[in-house]
A and B are shown apart, each in its own frame.
Chain A
Amino acid sequence: MLQRSLALPLVAVLALGVSACATKKKDLPPQPTTATTVTPTTQPPATTTGEAPPATVSNTNVPGSAADFVAQAGADHVLFAYDSYELDEDARTVLGKQAEWLARYPQVRVTVEGHSDERGTREYNLALGDRRATAAKNFLAAQGVDTSRMTTISYGKERPAADGSDEAAWAQNRRAVTVVAGN
């Protein structure tokens, strides 16, 4: 009786998980057939679930999500030249797509992060990151994104994307990242 009462909640949890996924996306991955193995038995439930092969779960992008934003816009970030906050053609293309996506999901708010590479002094890089975040935010605003939906933050050289100390890493770190809120 004790074992049975332990096993039941597990089934309930699995069922909940499946139904929660179902509300998000129509073209779901196939139902995990292994779920049926988690029936109450006289065996200890932990052993039973442990013997089952793992369910196959693939990710999918939910419309309006951060992952969908990256997929649709091509990137959540744009890159800058050394000590520059000028948006080049690639950056403007990406930001244009970001603006289109933001127009489709007007309830979504974003934070634009500005970052620098490590080859500058700390205080200056905070200000430079602010310039980069502001440049990206102003471009998005010019494309019709309401400024009330956007905030900026600069991390200077404190949060690099790549941890190397060479030009390839620095190029990746001189960036502005549009972060979709609530994800």
Chain B
Amino acid sequence: MSVKTPAAIDAHHLTVRFGRETVLDDVTFSLARGEIVAVIGPNGSGKTTLLQAVLGLQPYEGIIRVFGKPVRETLGRIGYVPQRFAFDRTFPLTVGEFLRLRGAKPKHRDWRQAVLAEVNLTGGESQPVGELSGGELQRLLIANALMGEPELLLLDEPTAGVDVAGERGFYELVAHLHRSHQMTVLMVSHDLAMVARQATKIICLNRELVCFGPPAQAIAPDVLRQLYGEGAHIAAHHPH
């Protein structure tokens, strides 16, 4: 008799309310381990709220299990890259110091350097964080998430404020990490063309689950209309 491996994320009848307003209504999905899944939808559709609920940062109704357990018990297996880092650029902090802030799991210098090399941050540990470009800062946030050797990586619109070239490089890095570490990735994104190329599955949200499945099936014209209105289509980025 085989024992079924728990899914990376199981959400059943997930509902989130802000006061009287229902932000997510009865959302159910299951992510297998090793998938790279993108959450898409218009502004205010509940994408960030979904991630926050999965992390246990947002009160919800329904059931969410991460690796078959309540998220509090699996935090050590999760890496998180926030949408916006409220970082005061003028505050003195080096790249190495930033990676040591987690405190609980001190890692050796070699490990930090390996992680920095993996995300292609070559400025060294003594480089001030305030001197990093938008794309470099996002890669540092990924490095920070990787410090805990996560099995599940959650990214909340990680390329907001990053230029097109940086955005493309960033998604390639995520795909590389997904392949090399066999980690499950759940990311919120606005960039449908990137999502169509990199994701194995897509969750379409508009306060409720509009679609869930592989990109080719999920991003149908009627779904795009339902999400973004008439005239919505996927525009590919062309290299300059």
A and B: bona fide binding partners:
no
Interface residues of B (CB under 8 A from A): none
